[in-house]
């Protein structure tokens, strides 16, 4: 496993074990370790600039239910208010230096993913489809950070969804027509889409959503009140901020969430290697 720059692992952390009936091998523990190192760097930058973050999705569920990773999970997800997210974008390239990489894939190679990934450049966390396409961008192990944007009132949402879907479709068409993307080429629809999702940034709204990643999906639409405050909770051997309204958020995402239910990871299409750089696979 690569050297970790910002954390010291407990002596027995990499030891294989069974959690909730799932065998966690040393390799998975190594991937977790790289991600926890990235998380530690992310928190340091957030603290330096007074930026708020919250655990989300499986990371939130793991923090609440397991006090760490869901045993069969392999990634970390976080959300930030749009203002804090944009501020992180302003300082990210300066703060995350080698072996870390601050990556906005929408600007790097024309995707319309619309969120940040912080990566370790000496490792591999690469989609199988990207191996086939030989995309020469940083494909190290990563953590995901998503912006939360304000939603308009219910009466305005139908037209708003339609506009977002149209921009998303045009962006995907652009990608399909430019499958070989040169360095520096930019998907112009990303900028239009980002401007659209920020339209209600100055208005106080009751609902917020992960619009840069999901359009009109229930799991991405949240109540702003659930994020008014944060709680610090244990996560493995570290501490992590979660939204005070986590129960309602988890109910929206997962329905009945308190009892463990083993499912496949969303990243089952990713090759993880904590020992080798992604360069060796491209």
For residue range 174-198, list pLDDT tens digits in order: 767 765 555 445 567 777 888 899 9
- Beta strand 17-19 pairing with 22-24: antiparallel
Mean pLDDT of the chain: 89
pLDDT of residue 65: 96
* Residue ranges of the chain with per-residue pLDDT less than 70: 105-113, 133-135, 175, 178-187, 262-268
Residue with tokens 């708003």: 160
Question: CB under 8 Å, gap of 24 or more: what pairs does 182-186 form?
Answer: 183/109, 183/136, 185/109, 185/110, 186/107, 186/110
pLDDT at 12: 96
Which pLDDT value is given to residue 190?
A: 76
Please name which of 116, 130, 137, 133 lies closest in space to residue 213, comparing C-alpha atoms: 116
pLDDT tens by residue, 231-255: 999 999 999 999 999 999 999 999 9
Domain boundaries, the chain: 17-147+227-281
- Single pTM value for the model: 0.92
pLDDT at 125: 95
């Amino acid at each position: 496993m690569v050297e970790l720059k910002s954390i010291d692992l407990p002596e027995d952390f990499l030891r294989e074990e069974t959690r909730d009936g799932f065998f966690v091998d040393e390799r998975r523990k190594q991937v977790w370790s790289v991600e926890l190192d990235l998380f530690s760097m992310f928190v340091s930058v957030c603290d330096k600039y007074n930026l708020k973050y919250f655990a989300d999705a499986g990371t939130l569920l793991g923090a609440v239910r397991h006090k760490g990773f869901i045993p069969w999970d392999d990634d970390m997800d976080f959300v930030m208010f749009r203002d804090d997210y944009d501020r992180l974008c302003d300082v990210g390239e300066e703060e995350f230096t080698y072996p870390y990489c601050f990556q906005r894939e929408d600007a790097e190679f024309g995707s319309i993913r619309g969120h940040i990934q912080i990566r370790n450049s000496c490792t591999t966390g690469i989609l199988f489809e990207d191996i086939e396409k030989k995309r020469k961008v940083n494909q190290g192990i990563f953590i995901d950070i998503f912006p939360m944007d304000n939603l308009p009132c219910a009466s305005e949402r139908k037209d708003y969804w339609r506009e977002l879907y149209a921009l998303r479709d045009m962006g995907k068409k652009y990608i399909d027509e430019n499958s070989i993307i040169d360095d520096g080429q930019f998907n112009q629809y990303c900028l239009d889409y980002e401007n659209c999702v920020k339209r209600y940034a100055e208005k106080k709204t009751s609902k917020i959503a992960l619009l840069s990643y999901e359009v009109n999906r229930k799991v991405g639409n949240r109540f702003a009140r659930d994020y008014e405050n944060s709680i610090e909770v244990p996560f493995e051997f570290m501490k992590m901020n979660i939204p005070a309204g986590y129960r309602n958020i988890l109910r929206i995402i997962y329905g009945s969430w308190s009892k463990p239910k083993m499912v496949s990871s969303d990243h089952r299409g990713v090759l993880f290697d904590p020992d080798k750089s992604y360069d060796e696979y491209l």
